[in-house]
Amino acid sequence: MVKLMKILICYHSDTGNTEAIAKSMAEGLADQDVTLLPAKDVDPSSLGDYDLVFLGSGIYAGALGKSIKKLMKNITNYPPKFVLFCTHANPDPAFYQKAFKKVEKQISENNSTVCAQFHCIGENKNPQVVEMLLKTMPSMKEPLEAAKGHPDAKDLENAKNFAQSVLQEL
C-alpha cells in the first residue's frame, strides 16, 4: 500500500493536449491528495508543500510553454521529487527531450530529483503553425499527419497508468 502523498499536477497547454494528459494522470492518482492546476495558477512558493510535483507542457518550437518557464523561474522552495511530462508533434526524441534540459538542471541544483518522465504525441491544432512547418520543413508532413487525433484514448490510458506506476516506484 502506497502512503497518501500530497501531489501537484501542473501544466501549460495551448491546445488542450497536455491538459488532457494531466487530467488522466490525476485520475490515475485519485486515491492520493492531488491538486490539478494550470501552471499560471500555481503559487511558486507553494511547490515545497508537496511530496511530488508533476510538471507538464506542450512543446512549442522545441521549447516549454511560457507559464512553466515563469513558474520555474520563481520557485523558492522545491519539493523533493518531480515528474516531467509533455506532448509534442515531433517524433524525434531530441526535439522534446531538449526542452526540459534547463528545468532538469535547475531541479538537480536545488537538491530535488526528477524521478520519472512521460511524453506522448499531440496534434498541432494551430493551422498557421502547421502551414509554416510544412513550408519550412516538408519532412514534418508525415509526423504531423500521424499526430492527428492525439492524444487519443490509448494515450490517455497510458498517462493514467504511468502516473500510477510512478507511485509504485517511489
Backbone angles phi, psi at 51, to 5 degrees: -75, -30
Most confident of 2-6, 66-70, 96-100, 124-128: 66-70
Give which of 126, 136, 56 is closest to 89, Cα–Cα.
126
Give which of 52, 91, 47 is closest to 68, Cα–Cα.
47
CB distance 59 to 95 below 8 Å: yes
Higher pLDDT, 49 or 146: 49
Cell of 131: 502551414
- In one-letter notation, the amino acid at residue 45 is S
CB distance 53 to 7 below 8 Å: yes
Catalogue all structural domains in the chain, each as residue range(s) with its CATH number: 6-163 (3.40.50.360)
Cell of 59: 512543446
Q: How confident is the model at residue 111 (pLDDT cuts 50, 70, 90)?
A: very high
- Does residue 147 carry a pLDDT above 80? yes
Place of cell 490515475: 28
pLDDT at 74: 96
- Does residue 2 carry a pLDDT above 80? no
Backbone angles phi, psi at 167, to 5 degrees: -65, -35
For residues 87-109, average pLDDT: 88
CB distance 119 to 88 below 8 Å: yes
- Does residue 1 carry a pLDDT above 80? no
- Does residue 38 carry a pLDDT above 80? yes
For residues 37-44, average pLDDT: 97
Its pTM stands at: 0.92
Interatomic CA distance for residues 86 and 121, integer angstroms: 9
